[in-house]
């Protein structure tokens, strides 16, 4: 956009020469130049962004191939199969409870993860934002440290913490709090903890960004006007950092709902999430169209969430304008 504008102004001198025709020609030239300049960007967006999406969109309307892949047989079967299944004997349609429960679990786990990350991330971000300038960067660095290692490695580490003879259980047993190890690993709880751990930095960063901009004198004004800590938090801090809260929630929710590694390792194969379901379709189940349809379905859900977010932010901005 900015590039296009500069080229437009750059061509102004040629338009001075003579009448309308010259102006029109110059305009055409500048339009062409503009397209030329943005074409690399468009090519990349098209190639890596839109094309893969288009491919799975097309696949989702085809039939599965005999061994894997697809056969060019258009059908809505894959989309039907996202939530329905055909009875093997009489071919009547019924709800696919396995899929429904996986999708429900994904939503619930992603939502719980988002809330947990918010509960942990909010005070963390506040803590960092109230440190002196120099210390803040150190704290932010520490928060982002887990991102420096592979998610797989981190999840294995989490297994060491959560398993029956892991650090949590052995410490609790050592302290005589419990006798038998708590059943954490391979449960939804383990997946929730793992996801929260994995995506916490994505909550802290945007929260920190909006808290850093927060005018702390407003908090003092709140105290001055008889607001105690809780009231100031609810009435002043939270409304003012709301964009950060929403951004953080979305940034955690989206990857959490599509998570693959964490539910696979910490859920122990019985607590699947949508990500695993999709992977299965492209793997053992050999149903690429269904995998594509579920992927697109997930994307639609996420888009709905984004639209709600954008609307929220816009209406808030309107109120503040």
Q: Which is nearer to another protein, 57 or 240 (CB)?
A: 240
- Helix ranges restricted to H, the chain: 2-10, 12-15, 20-44, 51-59, 77-83, 97-129, 133-144, 151-162, 167-174, 188-212, 216-224, 229-232, 238-240, 242-257, 261-266, 274-282, 288-320
Q: Which is nearer to another protein, 2 or 321 (CB)?
A: 321
The token pair that represents 136 in the structure block: 């803040």
Cα separation, 86 vs 103, whole angstroms: 19
DSSP annotation of 235: I
What long-range pairs does 95-101 form, CB within 8 A, spacing at least 24? Answer: 99/277, 99/294
Please report whether residue 320 would count as binding another protein according to CB under 8 A: yes
Residue from 104, 235, 303, 314 binding another protein (CB under 8 A) = 235
**162 vs 265: CA distance, rounded Å:** 11
221 touches another protein by CB under 8 A: yes
Stretch touching another protein by CB under 8 A, among 95-103, 156-164, 233-241, 295-303: 233-241
Rounded distance, CA 46 to CA 218, Å? 46
- Candidates 35, 137, 156, 223; binder of another protein (CB under 8 A) is 223
Task: With CA atoms as reference, report the closest residue to 308 among 253, 241, 238.
Answer: 253
Which stretch in 15-23, 56-64, 229-237, 265-273 sits in contact with another protein by CB under 8 A? Answer: 229-237
321 counts as binding another protein under rule CB under 8 A: yes
The single residue among 5, 27, 73, 215 that binds another protein, judged by CB under 8 A, is 215
Classified as helix, coil or strand, 95 is strand
Q: For the window 237-276, what string marks contact with another protein as x by the rule CB under 8 A? A: --xx------------------------------------
- 32 versus 235: smaller Cβ distance to another protein: 235
Rule CB under 8 A: say whether 213 interacts with another protein: no
Q: Shortest gap between Cβ of 126 and another protein (angstroms)? A: 18
Nearer to another protein, 222 or 258 (CB): 222
Residues contributing to the site for another protein (CB under 8 A): 215, 217-218, 220-228, 231, 235-236, 239-240, 319-321
């Amino acid at each position: 956009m900015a590039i296009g504008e500069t080229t437009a102004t750059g061509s102004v001198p040629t338009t001075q020469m003579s009448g309308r025709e010259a102006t029109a020609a110059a305009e055409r030239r500048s339009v062409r130049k503009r397209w030329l300049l943005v074409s690399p960007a468009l090519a990349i967006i098209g190639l890596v962004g839109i094309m893969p999406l288009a491919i799975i969109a097309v696949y989702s309307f085809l039939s599965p191939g005999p061994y894997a892949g697809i056969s060019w047989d258009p059908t809505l079967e894959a989309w039907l199969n996202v939530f329905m299944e055909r009875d093997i004997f009489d071919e009547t349609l019924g709800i696919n409870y396995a899929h429904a429960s996986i999708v429900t679990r994904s939503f619930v786990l992603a939502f719980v993860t988002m809330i947990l990350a918010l509960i942990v991330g909010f005070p963390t971000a506040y803590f960092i934002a109230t440190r002196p300038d120099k210390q803040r960067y150190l704290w932010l660095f520490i928060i982002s440290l887990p991102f420096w290692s592979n998610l797989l490695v981190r999840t294995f580490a989490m297994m060491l913490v959560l398993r029956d003879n892991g650090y949590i259980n052995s410490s609790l047993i050592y302290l005589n709090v419990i006798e038998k190890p708590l059943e954490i690993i391979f449960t939804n709880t383990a997946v929730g903890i793992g996801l929260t751990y994995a995506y916490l930095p994505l909550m802290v960063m945007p929260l920190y960004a909006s808290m850093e901009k927060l005018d702390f004198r407003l908090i003092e004004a709140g105290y001055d006007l008889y607001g105690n800590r809780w009231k100031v938090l609810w009435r002043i801090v939270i409304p003012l950092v709301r964009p950060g809260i929403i951004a953080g929630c979305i940034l955690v929710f989206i990857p959490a709902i599509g998570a693959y590694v964490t539910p696979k390792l910490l859920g122990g194969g019985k607590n699947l999430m949508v990500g695993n379901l999709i992977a299965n379709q492209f793997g053992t189940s050999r149903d690429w169209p269904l995998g594509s349809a579920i992927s697109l379905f997930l994307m639609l859900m996420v888009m709905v969430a984004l639209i709600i977010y954008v609307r929220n932010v816009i209406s808030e901005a309107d109120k503040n304008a």
